[in-house]
Structure 1
Amino acid sequence: MHLLQAKAIVMLNMGGPSTVPETYDFLKNLFSDGDLIPLPFQSFAAPWIAKRRTPQIEKQYQDIGGGSPILKYTRLQGDRMAALLDELHPATAPHKAYVAFRYAKPLTDEAAAEMKRDGVKRAVAFTQYPQYSCSTTGSSLNELYRRGRAGALGEGVEWSVIDRWGTHPGFIEAVAQNIERSLAKFDEQDRSGVVLLFSAHSLPMSVVNRGDPYVLEVSATVSAVMDRLKQSNPFRLVWQSQVGPSAWLGMQTGEAIKGLARLGRKKVVLVPIAFTSDHIETLYEMDLEYVKEGEELGMDIQRAESLNDSPVFIRALADLAATHLRDYSAGTIGPASIQMGLRCPGCTNVTCGQQKTWFARGGR
Structure 2
Amino acid sequence: MKPEAILLLAHGTPDTLGQMAEYLSKVTGGRQLPQSVVEELQHRYAEIGLRDEPLPEGPPLTHWTLEQTRLLRESLTIPVYVGMRNWQPYIADVVARMRSDGIHSFRAICLAPQNSRTSTGLYRRAATSAAEGIEMEFISGWAEEPLLARAFADRLLPVWKEACAATGTRVPVLFTAHSVPCRTLLPGTPSSTSDQPTRPTTPIPADGIQTYDATATPDPYPVECKQTAIRVAEAAGLTDPDWYFAFQSQGIAGAPWIGPTVEETLKALAAEGYKGVVMQPIGFLCDHVEILYDIDIAFKATAKELGLDLWRAESLNASPILIEALIKLATAE
The two structures have a TM-score, normalised by structure 2, of 0.83
**In the alignment, is the contact (CA less than 8 A) between 1:24 and 1:50 conserved in 2?**
no
Change (3 A) 1:52 1:115: farther
Change (3 A) 1:96 1:50: farther
Alignment of 1:167-182 (within 5 A): 167-182=144-159
Q: Distance in 2 between matches of 1:116 and 1:290?
A: 44
Deviations 1:5-35 (Å, cap 9, x if unpaired)?
Answer: x932111121211322221122111112xxx
**In the alignment, is the contact (CA less than 8 A) between 2:163 and 2:278 conserved in 1?**
no
- 2:9 maps to a residue whose letter is L
User: How many residues of Structure 1 are paired with residues of Structure 2 in the alignment?
Assistant: 292
Deviations 1:314-339 (Å, cap 9, x if unpaired)?
Answer: 1211122112xxx1xxxxxxxxxxxx
Q: Distance in 2 between matches of 1:189 and 1:103?
A: 41
Given the alignment of the two structures, is residue 166 of structure 1 paired with residue 174 of structure 2, yes or no? no
Deviations 1:131-173 (Å, cap 9, x if unpaired)?
Answer: 1011111111011112234xxxxx4x22212221112121111
1:338 alignment partner in structure 2: none
Given the alignment of the two structures, is residue 318 of structure 1 paired with residue 321 of structure 2, yes or no? no
- 2:95 maps to a residue whose letter is A
Match of 1:255 among 254, 264, 271: 264
Partner SS, residue 79 of structure 2: strand
Q: Distance in 1 between matches of 2:330 and 2:35?
A: 39
**In the alignment, is the contact (CA less than 8 A) between 1:132 and 1:213 conserved in 2?**
yes
Partner SS, residue 163 of structure 2: coil
2:74 alignment partner in structure 1: 83
**In the alignment, is the contact (CA less than 8 A) between 1:194 and 1:267 conserved in 2?**
yes
Using the aligned pairs only, state the percent identity. Answer: 29
Q: Distance in 2 between matches of 1:186 and 1:241?
A: 24
Given the alignment of the two structures, is residue 300 of structure 1 paired with residue 309 of structure 2, yes or no? yes
- Uncovered stretches (5+) of structure 2, i.e. residues with no partner: 52-58, 188-217
2:207 alignment partner in structure 1: none
**In the alignment, is the contact (CA less than 8 A) between 1:82 and 1:318 conserved in 2?**
no
- How much has 1:117 moved relative to structure 2? 2.7
- Uncovered stretches (5+) of structure 1, i.e. residues with no partner: 1-5, 33-42, 86-92, 150-154, 328-364
The two structures have a TM-score, normalised by structure 1, of 0.76
Given the alignment of the two structures, is residue 309 of structure 1 paired with residue 293 of structure 2, yes or no? no
RMSD (Å), alpha carbons = 1.8
Deviations 1:21-74 (Å, cap 9, x if unpaired)?
Answer: 221122111112xxxxxxxxxx5xx21x16441111011111101163111111
Match of 2:38 among 46, 54, 57: 54
2:249 alignment partner in structure 1: 241
Q: Distance in 2 between matches of 1:286 and 1:275?
A: 12
Q: Distance in 1 between matches of 2:311 and 2:141?
A: 28
Q: Distance in 1 between matches of 2:236 and 2:65?
A: 27
Deviations 1:53-103 (Å, cap 9, x if unpaired)?
Answer: 111101111110116311111111111112212xxxxxxx3x222221111
Partner SS, residue 321 of structure 1: helix
Given the alignment of the two structures, is residue 17 of structure 1 paired with residue 23 of structure 2, yes or no? no
Partner SS, residue 185 of structure 1: helix
2:87 alignment partner in structure 1: 104
Match of 1:148 among 92, 112, 131: 131
Change (3 A) 1:50 1:128: farther
- How much has 1:183 moved relative to structure 2? 0.9
Alignment of 1:1-364 (within 5 A): 7-32=4-29, 46-47=31-32, 49=33, 51-66=35-50, 68-85=59-76, 93=77, 95-149=78-132, 155=133, 157-188=134-165, 190=167, 193-210=170-187, 211-232=218-239, 234-243=242-251, 244-323=253-332, 327=333
Question: Which has the larger share of helix?
Answer: 1
2:192 alignment partner in structure 1: none
1:38 alignment partner in structure 2: none
**In the alignment, is the contact (CA less than 8 A) between 1:18 and 1:69 conserved in 2?**
no
Change (3 A) 1:104 1:191: farther
Structure 1 outlier segments of 4+, above 6 Å:
none
Deviations 1:91-139 (Å, cap 9, x if unpaired)?
Answer: xx3x222221111221212212321232212211111111101111111
Q: Distance in 2 between matches of 1:221 and 1:161?
A: 20
**In the alignment, is the contact (CA less than 8 A) between 2:167 and 2:275 conserved in 1?**
no
Larger radius of gyration: 1
- How much has 1:187 moved relative to structure 2? 4.3
- 1:69 maps to a residue whose letter is P
Deviations 1:330-355 (Å, cap 9, x if unpaired)?
Answer: xxxxxxxxxxxxxxxxxxxxxxxxxx
Q: Distance in 1 between matches of 2:168 and 2:118?
A: 37
- 2:90 maps to a residue whose letter is L
- 2:141 maps to a residue whose letter is R
- 2:248 maps to a residue whose letter is Q
**In the alignment, is the contact (CA less than 8 A) between 1:79 and 1:96 conserved in 2?**
no
Change (3 A) 1:238 1:63: same
